[in-house]
């Protein structure tokens, strides 16, 4: 079938290659003429996914109309900051029945909407699914075995997306818990920033394990309060994505965190990483959600203080360590 990938960053390009390998006709759209010119010339994204060669019959275009016309699947692969603008532009050409598969990760600060909620807000009667999990573009583009989950309100939609993306190197599970998938995907980026900051400060494996574990506790508390299923947050798009994002140097959030821990500002870190660092933009939204639902999220709070209040990272770590004593499992079994 024809598939349109909207966004030619590293993730969009990696998924484009996967979809083409699965015998689909793939159109890749970007709003950036220079990027499209480079892809048409090189058949490789030399800036964001160097070494991943793209087929000669893959189409690259700046025409959104041409890209989406007659496509059955539309992959929303722009950074979360641009999902609303792109969805608004797409609304002019969207045909009812086309499946929009969101692969961006984030929460809109002004509305606290997830990415699928933004798409539904901009496009009437849109059929939207979300694809997420532990999946670095650098590895998917090279065909390294990866497992991921697709969420949709309609089982048939989830299974159709599963069929389109599934391959011997890309295993796809299905889920009805769209909200849980998106909450895990967005908030793990904030925790990954914290993990990177700890690395930048020179801390070790003990600290990393603590941040992953207690960060997961924060994500789960908030997600469940919002209506997500705990099983989702302990699955691929929750703990799975959190582990890979906190541990890998492919992770732009971890890399930015390392630079911040070494003393750079958030702006300086993002410029050095040279890609959108989603966790920086999701951090404020995560703090707003924790306030709205009255959920204690000390790691998220401290990440916000480091990013936006210029508090020294080492002081924030100390504050986390000397908080009031807590019980890990809130079940009164002691007599």
Q: Annotated active-site positions, please?
A: 188
d(CA 31, CA 291): 36
CA neighbours closer than 13 Å in the CB half-sphere of residue 92: 9
* 73-76, strands of its sheet edge to edge: 59-61, 25-29, 2-6, 73-76, 99-102, 127-132, 146-152, 170-175
Buried b (16+ CB within 10 A) or exposed e, 203-224: beeebbebbbebbbebbbbbbb
C-alpha neighbours within 13 Å on the C-beta side of residue 278: 23
β-strands 146-152, 127-132: how paired? Answer: antiparallel
Cα(118)–Cα(246) distance, integer angstroms: 27
> For residue 73, what are the β-bridge partners?
3, 99
């Amino acid at each position: 079938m024809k598939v349109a990938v909207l966004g030619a960053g590293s993730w969009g390009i990696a998924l484009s290659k996967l979809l083409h390998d699965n015998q689909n006709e793939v159109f890749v759209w970007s709003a950036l003429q220079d990027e499209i010119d480079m892809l048409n010339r090189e058949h490789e994204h030399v800036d964001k996914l160097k070494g991943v060669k793209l087929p000669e019959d893959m189409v690259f275009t700046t025409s959104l109309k041409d890209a989406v016309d007659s496509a059955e699947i539309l992959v929303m692969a722009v950074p979360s900051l641009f999902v609303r603008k792109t969805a608004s532009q797409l609304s002019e050409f969207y045909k009812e029945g086309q499946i929009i598969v969101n692969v961006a990760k984030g929460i809109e600060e002004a509305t606290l909407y997830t990415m699928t909620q933004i798409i539904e807000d901009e496009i009437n009667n849109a059929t939207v699914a979300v694809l997420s999990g532990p999946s670095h573009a650098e590895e998917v583009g090279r065909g390294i075995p990866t497992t991921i989950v697709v969420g949709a309100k309609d089982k048939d939609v989830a299974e159709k997306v599963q069929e389109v993306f599934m391959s011997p190197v890309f295993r796809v599970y299905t889920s009805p818990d769209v909200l849980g998938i998106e909450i895990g995907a967005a908030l793990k980026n904030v925790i990954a920033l914290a993990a990177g900051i700890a690395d930048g400060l020179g801390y070790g494996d003990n600290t990393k394990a603590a941040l992953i574990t207690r960060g997961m506790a924060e994500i789960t508390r908030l997600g469940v309060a919002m209506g997500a299923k705990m099983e989702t947050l302990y699955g691929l798009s929750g703990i799975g994505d959190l582990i890979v994002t906190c541990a890998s140097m492919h992770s732009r959030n971890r890399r930015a965190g390392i630079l911040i821990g070494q003393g750079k500002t958030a702006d300086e870190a993002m410029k050095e990483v040279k890609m959108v660092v989603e966790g920086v933009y999701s951090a404020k939204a995560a703090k707003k959600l924790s306030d709205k639902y009255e959920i204690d999220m000390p790691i998220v709070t401290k990440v916000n203080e480091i990013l936006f209040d210029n508090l020294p990272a080492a002081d924030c770590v100390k504050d986390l360590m000397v908080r009031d004593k807590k019980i890990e499992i809130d079940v009164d079994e002691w007599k």
